[in-house]
Amino acid sequence: MKKVFISPVLFSILFSLVPVLSMAQKIDSIYINLYTDSLKKGSYNYINVDGLLQNGKYIPLDTSHIIFSSSAGVFSGNSLVLPFDFTEEKVDIRVVLKNTTIQKDFTMYVKRKEEAPLPTLEEIYAPPARKKRKNQ
């Protein structure tokens, strides 16, 4: 029986091709997984998109695989950014898989309640206020 020797360099090159070869499978459908029920104004709202491969496995998709569009705001990668002065109640979002007709349309509402402002550095580093004791 003949033994085959694979050099470490060749092995690392072959091993690095595994993710590329696994991406060669066709994506059957896309799914949106939202981390929140509403969008926040003035922050990055991440839109998580997964693709279902023919072999039943899921892969995360980014802007190299999909195209984002929305009725308001600007996309930065997978994140939708709404301006602080945004007044609409909801945003319509469309995700399209590149070079296919596969797409998802959905609506997300904008958070209405204003968030409490973060404490300043002076408030963080200030000594805690002492509580008065009751005389017994």
Nearest to 19 by CA among 78, 65, 59, 64: 59
Residue extents of the structural domains in the chain: 24-115
* 93 neighbors 74 (Cβ within 8 angstroms): no
Mean pLDDT for the chain? 84
pLDDT in tens, 34-83: 888 899 998 899 999 999 999 999 999 999 999 999 999 999 999 999 99
Report pTM. 0.65
Query: Percent of the chain at pLDDT above 70?
Result: 80
pLDDT in tens, 2-25: 665 666 655 566 555 555 444 568
C-alpha span between 95 and 80 (Å, rounded): 12
Domain boundaries 24-115, CATH class: mainly beta
Confidence grade of residue 136 (pLDDT, cut at 50, 70, 90) = low
Radius of gyration of the chain (CA): 25
